[in-house]
Structure 1
Amino acid sequence: MSEPHRQDTQRYPASRILDVAKALSGDVRVRILEALGRQPMSISQLAEALGVAQPTISINVQILEQAELIVSAPGANREKICSVTCRSILLELPTQPGEGLHHVEEIHMPIGMYSICSVSPPCGMVGRDAGLIGSQDDPRAFYMPERTEAALLWFAEAGYVEYYFANPLPPSVELEELCIRAEVCSEAPGFREDWPSDITVSVNGLPVGTWTSPGDFGERQGKLTPEKWKGGTQYGQLTEWRVTREGSFVNGVSAEPTAIAGLGLAFNKPIRIRFEVREDAANQRGLNLFGSGFGDYPQNIVLSFTRRS
């Protein structure tokens, strides 16, 4: 097996330090680098050489790839062949606040990790295996510890779920914009394509936009929805609420005057993100909120922070 060309030294800017540190912090990943230091190897060869299960090797190889410490290419029989990218690395240390962060930082929140909620039946939650969490149409299920494993939650009419996010940016770093992305839709008995619901997102109690879901989608199987799920609702629409210095936008359309400066963000305080069908909404037809194992998109709720350049 021939060895591909590799650099003597790989240079990483300050914004990549955390990626590299994470990649080098695991014993298995260091052992993978040791094994590849001699020659390129396949996933199965690495598993045999290190005495580690192939799924574990694959996960750790992916982390090393994300840090650009190794690269992979298809080999014989389409097996993944891995090789190191360099013989040494050079890390540039940050010289000012925020320089060690990515330009965009993201936090991925499981949908069952809300801090407070207000729901009434019909409502419910299911896990990634499509099994019910608690009893259907019983709001007490929303307070069970198993809720943290939810992959789909729903409630009808008015109500909300609210999440507390940490602020990853130090006090001296200016924020350019805040963005919330989630897969959502209305909630109807079974499903109804024509079933509008006004879904409002607020940040720290301030509305940043209302998206009117056209319906509760179930006419086809969700791309990630388990086959055994027969609950009617199958998928939602990936929707984006963005707060900038000029105001707030929903899917790129101006929605509210709420701007970054008015959110009251602080380094030592949580950021409260609420998904709500309000009591005064014109279309009170509930919501479905999808996690990474349900619907069409492999993600939970994503809150991203874009720092000012």
Structure 2
Amino acid sequence: MNDFKQELIRYPAARITEVAKALSGDLRVRILETLGDMPMGVSQLAEALGVAQPTMTINIQILEQAGLVVSSPGANREKICYVTCKSILLELPVKTGDGLHRIEQIHMPIGMYSRSIVRPTCGMAGHDGVLIGSIDDPRAFYMPERTDASLLWFSGAGCLEYLFANPIPPGVPLDELRLTAELCSEAPSFDMNRQSDISLYMNDMPVGTWRSPGDFGDRKGKLTPDRWFSGTEYGALTEWKVTKDGGYVNGIRATGTTLGDLSLDYSEPIRVRLEVGKEAEFQGGLNLLGSGFGDHPQDIVMSFVRSIDRQ
């Protein structure tokens, strides 16, 4: 007997796309049919439906993310899968923004910048730790392979600019706009005491400046490839945010820039610039780490936090 199964699960409008995706694949519908009232292991499901086990695992994960299937450990650590309900109820959106989550996120690969101003020392490396282009050659920052970068760096003053789509429709109020990234200063090899003032701008408005305490290379980064032995190993996960009353860096108010000052437009991208300014007190460059380097499995993440009270 399936102890996990409920009679009905109600899904809010914000989860329609997620559930629809899970149900849109013929194989995933067949998985639900096969499970029925009888839990099965992943290998049993793969054999019953005649598909490779890795394919089955991926499709089970999609059903789990939608809440249609749950799993528990069985013999030999194999996942035993269960259907969660007999019926689902989808609530349709009735007003603008109902189909959005409370927090909408955009994950930007670090190599997808729209503009760069860099000088040596500078360079990029892919997720495997292999250099992209030539080290200390700013031309590498305009090579197509830059989109695969998991680490990039420049010394002194410079900047990287990114364009983020705005997923929030007109009339839907925001509480916060956040950006998080893993980064640190830049020095030849590494220097734990090299400070750098790294500033963030949104639509050319200053959000705040984080003073990086150093270029971190005293230990191996948790995600940094084994073949990487060129200095910087990890960064500090840093958060900038803009609210209705100002700009913040790691929770500390830094500027008076508000959400209203950003002039957000649904049809226009949000320009985000990471910059070590020419007038900064500490011009120690920066290292920017993506999902395959450092301590944190993420690229640059922009979060749009909607207001709870929408009356």
Amino acid at match of 1:153: L
Moved over 4 A (4+): none
CA offset at residue 18 of structure 1? Answer: 1.9
The residue that corresponds to 2:195 in the other structure is 196
**TM (normalized to structure 1)?**
0.96
CA offset at residue 200 of structure 1? Answer: 0.4
1:96-119 CA-to-partner distances (Å, cap 9, x unmatched) read: 111111011000011011111111
Unaligned runs of 5+ in 2: none
- Within 1, Cα distance between the matches of 2:295 and 2:119? 26
- Within 2, Cα distance between the matches of 1:123 and 1:143? 13
SS in 1 for 2:2: coil
The residue that corresponds to 2:77 in the other structure is 78
The residue that corresponds to 2:162 in the other structure is 163
SS in 2 for 1:132: coil
| Aligned pairs (5 A) from 1:224-263 | 224-263=223-262
1:173-192 CA-to-partner distances (Å, cap 9, x unmatched) read: 11111000000000011011
**Percent of residue pairs bearing the same amino acid type:** 64
| Aligned pairs (5 A) from 1:131-210 | 131-210=130-209
Amino acid at match of 1:157: G
- Within 2, Cα distance between the matches of 1:283 and 1:202? 18
Is the contact made by 2:37 and 2:83 (CA closer than 8 Å) also made in structure 1? no
1:158-217 CA-to-partner distances (Å, cap 9, x unmatched) read: 111111010001111111110000000000110111010000010011110100000000
The residue that corresponds to 1:28 in the other structure is 27
The residue that corresponds to 2:9 in the other structure is 10
CA offset at residue 38 of structure 1? Answer: 5.2
**TM (normalized to structure 2)?**
0.96
- Within 1, Cα distance between the matches of 2:305 and 2:79? 35
| Aligned pairs (5 A) from 1:218-297 | 218-297=217-296
Is the contact made by 2:4 and 2:83 (CA closer than 8 Å) also made in structure 1? no
Is the contact made by 2:108 and 2:299 (CA closer than 8 Å) also made in structure 1? yes
CA offset at residue 122 of structure 1? Answer: 1.1
The residue that corresponds to 1:124 in the other structure is 123
Amino acid at match of 2:135: Q
Please identify, of 135-144 and 43-52, the stretch whose mean Cα deviation from structure 2 is larger.
43-52
Q: Measured at CA, do residues 136 and 27 of structure 1 come closer, stay the same or move farther in structure 2, by a change above 3 Å? A: farther
- Within 2, Cα distance between the matches of 1:154 and 1:52? 44
RMSD of aligned alpha carbons: 1.3
SS in 1 for 2:48: helix
- Within 2, Cα distance between the matches of 1:206 and 1:66? 37
Please identify, of 115-124 and 13-22, the stretch whose mean Cα deviation from structure 2 is larger.
13-22
Q: Measured at CA, do residues 14 and 132 of structure 1 come closer, stay the same or move farther in structure 2, by a change above 3 Å? A: same
- Within 2, Cα distance between the matches of 1:130 and 1:244? 37
- Within 1, Cα distance between the matches of 2:52 and 2:187? 44
The number of residues matched between the two structures is 308
Amino acid at match of 2:260: A
The residue that corresponds to 1:211 in the other structure is 210
1:205-250 CA-to-partner distances (Å, cap 9, x unmatched) read: 1110100000000111000001110011000000000100000100
